[in-house]
Chains A and B, each alone.
Chain A
Amino acid sequence: MQRTVFPHKVLPWLLLAPQLAVTLIFFYWPAGQAFRQSTLREDPFGLSSTFVGLANFRRVLSDPSYLNALQVTVVFSLFVAFLPMVIALFLAVQAEKIVRGRGVYRTLMIWPYAVATAIAGMLWLFMFNPSFGTLAWPLRQMGINWNPLLNSSHAMILVVAAATWKQISYNFLFFVAGLQAIPRSLLEAAAIDGASRRHAFWTIVFPLLAPTTFFLLVVNTVYALFDTFGIIHAVTGGGPGKATETLVYKVYNDGFVNLNMGDSAAQSVILMVIVIALTAFQFRYIERRVHYG
């Protein structure tokens, strides 16, 4: 690695300034605002606010609907963190086997990533709308009383499916790159050692993909917790009831729909702590088992 030494102390800061400015203005400042807001309570007209200490946190944490959102989030995130990985890994392995048209296959696999979250949500909403959905009809024909507007399990399946579909491309891309980084001679050596393709996959390929898998686990977790807002907003709006109301959706709902800024800010602070803790946990305990080339 080459080390460049700048003659001035000012120049490096100047070069870093744009990135630092973006980070400070769009990340740290709002986060700071959230912290401040979470200790304040606003009057009904939004004209003044008073300091209330941790009262917002206490109320949020003892609110049954908050605990419900927490539970929904755990279920939703577990599925959305793991399902795209499993499906994308399967597809990436299949893509490796293709000889002709590999580029086309890969490109098609990556396209969904370019679809905006809200659009993806609308797409799934239309396809599975119980009254006119193209794919809801065959479900009903199969004897499934498909109705995500009333059935909370169906609603959950729908948002998980949409969020997973959206994330498969990203996971696929990384798994394809990860697979390509594994030297072919390792698989040849395994073939000569007598390993079947399946055995070689689980004993050689999968362990060597661990860095990729770990990275995707972290990214998918953050994605499930934050970036799926658009999908939930478009597909179910958190309903039916509060069956698909995740933490981030509740932050939005309480803050910007119900205009309870104090509670909303307290929730976003809690969410931030959860994500930081989760990521730290992943790095601390899972990464240790990851073998980097």
Chain B
Amino acid sequence: MARILLNDVRKTYDRQEVIHGITMDIADGEFVVIVGPSGCGKSTLLRMVAGLEGISSGTIEIGGKVVNALEPRDRNIAMVFQNYALYPHMTVRENMVYGLKIAKLPRAEIDQRLARAAKMLELEPYLDRKPRALSGGQRQRVAMGRALVREPAAFLLDEPLSNLDAKLRLQMRLQIKDMHLRTGQTTLYVTHDQVEAMTLADRLIVMNSGIADQIGTPLEVYERPASEFVAGFIGSPAMNILTVSVGDGAAILPGGRRLSLPGLPAGGQFRLGLRPEDLRLAGATEGAIPVELRSLERLGADAFGYGVIEGTDVPMTVRLPGNSAAKRGDRLGVLPHESRLHLFSVETGRRFEPARGA
């Protein structure tokens, strides 16, 4: 159990900075997900907390102790690797107790912890097998078990589900959530999958090329993305983002259509974000954005229409009811929910604040 403090943490490789000062206070027992596209530095950040990468500047504190200079083994953490990193020549049992034996725990204690973890993860029948005789999901559980038995101050998970198929991924996601609720351990979880990020996290760090673009609860991040990058990354299908010029309380869309919206800034060029699920069909109502459908994906409950704003090449995604009669080539008129639009600066990509909740 421990609080983790990141204070202006930076990482430099060959004079090139890849992590640009991340500051965060992770409360004891909190589940924090670091999410971002590949190459954004999320794994590097996690490995810095683990002690597998040096910290170029700033400090990391685990449980009130600055760990910058400590070896991984002295940081009292456990980590689950993307490829599981199970010791291939050891049985499941040997894999799980490897760390406990090094810590010279009494035999009875080791057995007890092993039994508890094996039961929780349903690994009892496989304890004497070697990793290669296990399926992907089972290996994943062994990796979790190996972290669990150590009863560390914090769990670090590096894309633990990315090697599993969709069904197992869902199952394991629920299991990880359940495990977190039961153990109440501080957990730091890296993923590029926004569904994992949204469903697991108490709080998210959305990373974009070495910068924490936004830190907040999943709902905050979804409802008030702090940057155009976050807006485009969180939410599926991705948010529609258009360049608009603002003036006289209206936004002029590509194609020339004027959209009268309250709470707009005085003037200038902006990027307007509209989630597909925040667009409602408005027929040929005055002011509706005309969208020409190019293709349609039916998911059962919903359907997503992919098209362009009429007369332009600006793509636009619209959520439609599952039983919608719309088809390719149709022309739809859509209107955004006024309270659910997002404006971003063209230059910085940051959210334009006065537009919030207006």
With A191-B72, A195-B73 known to touch, is A185 a contact of B83 (CB < 8 Å)?
yes
Partner of A194, one of B50, B83, B87, B103: B103
User: B85 touching A208 by the CB < 8 A rule?
Assistant: no
User: A188 touching B71 by the CB < 8 A rule?
Assistant: no
A207-233 residues with Cβ-Cβ distance < 8 A to B are 207-208, 210
User: B99 touching A193 by the CB < 8 A rule?
Assistant: yes
User: A188 touching B103 by the CB < 8 A rule?
Assistant: no
Could you say which residues of chain A place their CB within 8 Å of the CB of B52? 188, 191-192
User: A207 touching B73 by the CB < 8 A rule?
Assistant: no
Tally of B interface residues using CB under 8 Å: 23
User: A194 touching B99 by the CB < 8 A rule?
Assistant: yes
User: B83 touching A195 by the CB < 8 A rule?
Assistant: no
Question: Is the CB of A9 closer than 8 A to any CB of chain B?
Answer: no
User: B85 touching A189 by the CB < 8 A rule?
Assistant: yes
Nearest CB in chain A to that of B78: its residue: A192
B52 to chain A, nearest CB (A): 5
Question: Is the CB of A204 closer than 8 A to any CB of chain B?
Answer: yes
Question: Is the CB of A291 closer than 8 A to any CB of chain B?
Answer: yes
Question: Is the CB of A183 closer than 8 A to any CB of chain B?
Answer: yes
Complex alpha-carbon distance, A293 and B131, angstroms: 10
Could you say which residues of chain B place their CB within 8 Å of the CB of A194? 73, 99, 102-103
A261 to chain B, nearest CB (A): 50
Query: DSSP class of A's interface residues: helix, strand, loop or mixed?
Result: helix
With A188-B52, A208-B88 known to touch, is A193 a contact of B81 (CB < 8 Å)?
no
B69-104 residues with Cβ-Cβ distance < 8 A to A are 71-73, 77-79, 81-83, 85-89, 98-99, 102-103
Nearest CB in chain A to that of B74: its residue: A194
Nearest CB in chain A to that of B83: its residue: A185
Nearest CB in chain B to that of A182: its residue: B88
A292 to chain B, nearest CB (A): 9
Question: Is the CB of A140 closer than 8 A to any CB of chain B?
Answer: no
User: A192 touching B50 by the CB < 8 A rule?
Assistant: yes
Question: Is the CB of A102 closer than 8 A to any CB of chain B?
Answer: no
A178 to chain B, nearest CB (A): 14
Question: Is the CB of A109 closer than 8 A to any CB of chain B?
Answer: no
User: B87 touching A204 by the CB < 8 A rule?
Assistant: yes
User: B89 touching A193 by the CB < 8 A rule?
Assistant: no
Could you say which residues of chain B place their CB within 8 Å of the CB of A185? 81-83, 85
Chain A CB within 10 A, most for which of B87, B99, B146: B87
A159-202 residues with Cβ-Cβ distance < 8 A to B are 183, 185-186, 188-196, 199
Could you say which residues of chain A place their CB within 8 Å of the CB of B146? 189, 193
User: A183 touching B85 by the CB < 8 A rule?
Assistant: yes
B57 to chain A, nearest CB (A): 21
Could you say which residues of chain B place their CB within 8 Å of the CB of A189? 79, 81, 85-87, 146
With A185-B81, A199-B102 known to touch, is A192 a contact of B87 (CB < 8 Å)?
no
B301 to chain A, nearest CB (A): 40
User: A193 touching B83 by the CB < 8 A rule?
Assistant: no
Complex alpha-carbon distance, A291 and B51, angstroms: 30
User: B102 touching A193 by the CB < 8 A rule?
Assistant: yes
Complex alpha-carbon distance, A179 and B77, angstroms: 27
User: B71 touching A193 by the CB < 8 A rule?
Assistant: no
A225 to chain B, nearest CB (A): 30
User: A293 touching B73 by the CB < 8 A rule?
Assistant: no
Complex alpha-carbon distance, A191 and B79, angstroms: 10
A202 to chain B, nearest CB (A): 12
Complex alpha-carbon distance, A130 and B124, angstroms: 68
Could you say which residues of chain A place their CB within 8 Å of the CB of B98? 190, 193, 195, 203
Could you say which residues of chain A place their CB within 8 Å of the CB of B73? 191-196
Complex alpha-carbon distance, A6 and B59, angstroms: 66
A70-116 residues with Cβ-Cβ distance < 8 A to B are none
Complex alpha-carbon distance, A35 and B146, angstroms: 59
Could you say which residues of chain A place their CB within 8 Å of the CB of B150? 193
B152 to chain A, nearest CB (A): 9
User: A208 touching B50 by the CB < 8 A rule?
Assistant: no
User: B99 touching A191 by the CB < 8 A rule?
Assistant: no
Top-9 shortest CB links A-B: A193-B99, A185-B85, A189-B85, A194-B73, A291-B89, A194-B102, A191-B72, A192-B72, A207-B89
What are 14 A-B contacts with C-beta separation under 8 Å?
A188-B85, A189-B86, A191-B71, A192-B51, A192-B77, A192-B99, A193-B99, A194-B73, A195-B98, A203-B87, A203-B98, A210-B89, A291-B89, A293-B88
> What 7 additional pairs, Cβ within 8 angstroms, besides A183-B85, A193-B73?
A186-B85, A189-B79, A192-B73, A192-B78, A194-B102, A204-B87, A208-B88
